[in-house]
Chain A
Amino acid sequence: MRAGLAQRDGEGMKQADKYIFCFLVILSLLGIVLSNLIFAGGAAEYALVEVNGKHFGTYLLHEKDGKILDVKTEFGYNKIVIENGMVRIVEADCPDRLDVQSGTISQTGEMLVCLPNRLVVRILGEGEVDGLAY
């Protein structure tokens, strides 16, 4: 019965599998380092809200009383709270509500994403706002 197994060589890993594993891990780590270098930009200062790839608004992270944003668009509704330099989405009408579960962001480059409502909240660093083309 096991005769047929002879040409299907193997149980477990082969040498090439290990190379593939190492290659993919190094590639991913390199990607993480590179994307952090590319997207890094100074101390966190603004929260940028984009809907469907278009600019919705830019808001200062450190405002005295904080800020509550109601983002109502054709794609859906999200309620964003900016408070003490931290941003979170507290309410959303999307089915999965992954954006609400994502918690808080505060570092430059961090993102909150609500795919169903096509909403992205991104934290920008010092001086980054001038460089944006709308």
Chain B
Amino acid sequence: MRIECTGVKKLTLLAVLLAVGLVLGVLEGMLPLFAVLPGAKLGIANVVTMLALVWFGPFSALLIGVLRAGLVGVFSGMATMAFYGGAGSVLSVVAMFLMRRFFGEKVSLAGVSMVGAFFFQVGQVAVFAAVIHNIQMFRYLPVLTLISTVCGLVTGLIAEKISQFQITR
């Protein structure tokens, strides 16, 4: 299905994407996975960022990614988490954009999402380590990237499915 989406329609759809991402982000923060291994999460809210990337390009995706991280931090009562998530988000959106730019024909959103999730964790752990002044934090990284690869695959497939709906800009 092709939906025309410009001007106010674009603004509205981006706002809806952000709202959906916010709710998903707060919900997944409540999952027990997060308590067992801080920093690990399903990343299901990233579907929204990927859709913004596919439909409206890198700048909208960056906007959604950063605002989502900030708002989830505020709404889940962990404002500091917003910084870690925000840093991860920026790196991940850039990585996903480059993946699509250079390997767009070869990979689906599943591949894009896995690479994005990997760089999300790199960014997040780098900020962890910087905040706490302890390079030992990088020990967590391989464990986190292992989980994020699997989760990224799942969320990428979901995003791929939804992105079948096309939008005319």
Contacts and interface: CB of A to CB of B under 8 A. Distances in A.
A and B associate:
yes
Interface of A: 1, 4-5, 8, 10-17, 20-21, 24-25, 27-32, 34-35, 39, 50, 52-54, 95-96, 98, 101-102, 109, 111, 113, 115-116, 118-120, 122
B78 A16 contact: no
Given A10-B108, A16-B107, A96-B78, A118 B142 contact: no
B144 to A, nearest CB: 8
29 contacts: A1-B2, A5-B166, A10-B108, A10-B160, A13-B110, A13-B157, A14-B107, A14-B108, A14-B110, A17-B110, A17-B114, A20-B114, A21-B149, A21-B153, A24-B145, A29-B142, A31-B145, A32-B143, A35-B139, A53-B133, A53-B134, A95-B78, A95-B80, A102-B38, A113-B38, A115-B38, A115-B84, A118-B133, A120-B132
A107 B110 CA distance: 37
A115 B149 contact: no
Give the interface SS of chain B, mostly helix, strand, loop or mixed: helix
A46 to B, nearest CB: 15
Contact of A13 (B108, B141, B142): B108
B139 A52 contact: no
B123 to A, nearest CB: 15
B8 interface: no
Contact of A53 (B77, B84, B132): B132
Nearest to B147: A28
Interface of B: 1-2, 35, 38, 77-78, 80-81, 84, 103, 106-108, 110-111, 114-115, 118, 128, 131-134, 136-139, 141-143, 145-146, 149-150, 153, 156-157, 160-161, 163-164, 166
